[in-house]
């Protein structure tokens, strides 16, 4: 029988890394989803960006693969209190995708295959802070982790990194997404423990 003392709160973070308040480290990659896992072939996948004026930009899988990619190594923080250090991804920066998109919008509503949505300030997708990720740990991104492609915004709680991403709508207004409409915090900063409305 394993005995765990009352003071045990998970593993300590590696040297030089800090855990946000209320988090514990995991070496696994838990799978949490709001509904069934969409199974989407790459030749069926498409990403669109629609401006507040209604102008639509789109990329199919081949077009996404032609864009310059990056391999960020980032820490992940889930609102359910686990954190994973040093996760390795491959994807296209939102700076690349939005480089030729003219907008005065300050907000985005991200939608996924399967109907999930989440909202973010546009500035949180720019300046090297976010990617459309299609690779994880040297392999294609598995469906249960959001494959074929997901949004990756590691400085916010992981529910903001929409799995199975299909659309980014640039908006003048801030429209709450799935979890935000259900009482989760509108922004979701793990360092401020912004888990729920009022935090």
* Per-residue DSSP letter, 13: P
In the chain, % of residues over pLDDT 90: 83
Residue range 154-180: mean pLDDT, rounded: 97
Distance CA 8, CA 13 (A): 13
Residue 14 has pLDDT above 60, yes or no: no
Residue range 124-133: mean pLDDT, rounded: 98
Residue ranges per structural domain of the chain: 44-192
CATH architecture, range 44-192: Alpha-Beta Complex (3.90)
Half-sphere exposure of 32 (CA within 13 A, CB side): 15
The predicted pLDDT at position 32 comes to: 76
Query: DSSP for 142-184?
Result: PGGGTTT-EEE-TTS-GGGS-TTEEEEEEESS----HHHHTTB
The predicted pLDDT at position 16 comes to: 62
* pLDDT tier, 11 (very low <50, low <70, confident <90, very high otherwise): low
User: What average pLDDT does the chain have?
Assistant: 92
The predicted pLDDT at position 12 comes to: 55
Interval 43-94: pLDDT, tens: 999 999 999 999 999 999 999 999 999 999 999 999 999 999 999 999 999 9
Residue range 113-126: mean pLDDT, rounded: 97
Distance CA 83, CA 25 (A): 5
SS3 of residue 197 by DSSP? coil
Burial group, residue 168, by CB count within 10 angstroms (0-12, 13-18, 19+): buried
């Amino acid at each position: 029988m394993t005995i765990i003392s009352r003071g045990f709160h998970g593993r300590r973070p590696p040297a030089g890394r800090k855990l946000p308040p209320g988090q514990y480290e995991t070496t696994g990659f838990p799978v949490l989803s709001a509904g069934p896992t969409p199974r989407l072939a790459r030749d069926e996948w498409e990403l669109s960006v629609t401006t507040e004026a209604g102008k639509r930009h789109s990329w199919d899988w081949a077009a996404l693969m032609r864009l310059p990619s990056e391999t960020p190594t980032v820490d992940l923080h889930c609102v359910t209190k686990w954190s994973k250090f040093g996760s390795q991804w491959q994807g296209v920066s939102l700076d690349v995708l939005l480089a030729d998109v003219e907008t005065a919008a300050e907000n985005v509503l991200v939608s996924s295959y399967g109907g999930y949505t989440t909202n973010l300030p546009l500035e949180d997708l720019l300046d090297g802070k976010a990617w459309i990720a299609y690779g994880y740990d040297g392999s294609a991104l598995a469906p249960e982790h959001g494959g074929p492609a997901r949004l990756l915004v590691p400085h916010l709680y992981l529910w903001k990194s929409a799995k199975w991403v299909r659309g980014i709508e640039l908006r003048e207004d801030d429209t709450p997404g799935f979890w935000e409409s259900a009482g989760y915090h509108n922004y979701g900063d793990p360092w401020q423990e912004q888990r729920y409305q009022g935090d």
